[in-house]
Amino acid sequence: MTGYSTSEVAKILGLSPGQVRGYVRAGFLSPERGERGRMRFSFPDLVFLRTARGLMSARVPPRRIRRALERLREQLPEDRSINAVRIAMEGTRIVVEDGPRRWQPESGQAVFDFDAADLAREAAPLGRRSFEEARTRSEAGDSLAADDWFEWGCELEASSPAEAREAYERALELQPDHASAHVNLGRILHEAGDPRAAEPHYLAALEVRPEDATAAYNLGVALEDMGKLPEALLAYQKAVRLEPDNADAHFNAASLAERLGRNAEAVRHLGAYRKLTRKT
């Protein structure tokens, strides 16, 4: 049979074999059984266990973890894996983040960061007013450099993403090879749910800065969201060549390699992921 043995899973995730078996006994997942009843874990099982391990380290009771992850599986679309979202503890709450969405999987209720929201709300009018002044100056003939517009974009992202997008676009009108503006504009488009529009900006950034690991990783995520799995794997592999300590890129590359039947590559990236996470 294909899949990973208990000892292999333990090595990859930095657990003991007893802990892995404990997760199974606790009902987190039901791996297939091979010869003599030995458990064989799939890559989605590894993703699930990796998430459970993170919550266990935050001292969340096993029964609560199992309930939250089961509910999360029901809430995510079929083409959206647990690996694609961020799960963390905020006080006593288990919170899931998927792009701009934040919710509690146990109840399904949305979560709002009121402190950040209040700060952004207070800063928004001042930021927009200053941006309008810059826009008026520009239209009146006062020359602003691409870097000026880029800095406006960075300033406005938290409170006024629409104006931030315009600022990055203006920066690129003045300097089409402004790599940082391409990366940030691509991220805004991607977070708005349009990875197809983000892709050319990440590619443009890499054309200017071939050593930009962030652009390569972001490109991989966009391509994966678009269903272009072989191309996404190549982007993740470029990201880890440029930034060998990027554990997330190794893990995502392993996931795609597994899905594409490239087992040797999957094992290699999982090994790198294991070493990096053990460091931390």
Domains, the chain, with CATH or none: 6-83 (1.10.1660.10), 113-175 (no CATH)
Taking residues 76-99, what's their average pLDDT?
Answer: 76
The model's confidence at residue 132, banded by pLDDT at 50, 70 and 90, is low
Give the Cα separation of 208 and 238 in Å (integer): 15
Looking at residue 19, what is its pLDDT? 79
Q: Looking at mean pLDDT, say which of 57-66, 103-112, 161-170 comes out highest.
A: 161-170
Nearest to 251 by CA among 235, 234, 272: 272
Give the Cα separation of 272 and 269 in Å (integer): 5
The CA–CA distances, whole Å, from 161 to 41, 72, 109, 153, 155 equal 42, 28, 25, 8, 10
Compute the Cα dihedral for 158, 160, 163, 165 and give only its sign: positive
Looking at residue 222, what is its pLDDT? 93
Contact 184, 202 (CB under 8 A): no
The model's confidence at residue 130, banded by pLDDT at 50, 70 and 90, is low
Looking at residue 262, what is its pLDDT? 92
Taking residues 119-140, what's their average pLDDT?
Answer: 58
* pLDDT of residue 115 exceeding 50: no
Looking at residue 56, what is its pLDDT? 75
Looking at residue 174, what is its pLDDT? 92
Looking at residue 159, what is its pLDDT? 67
* pLDDT of residue 113 exceeding 50: yes
The model's confidence at residue 179, banded by pLDDT at 50, 70 and 90, is very high
Q: 275-278 long-range contacts, Cβ below 8 Å, gap at least 24?
A: 276/245, 276/247, 276/250, 277/14, 277/247, 278/14
Mean pLDDT, the chain, whole residue set: 81
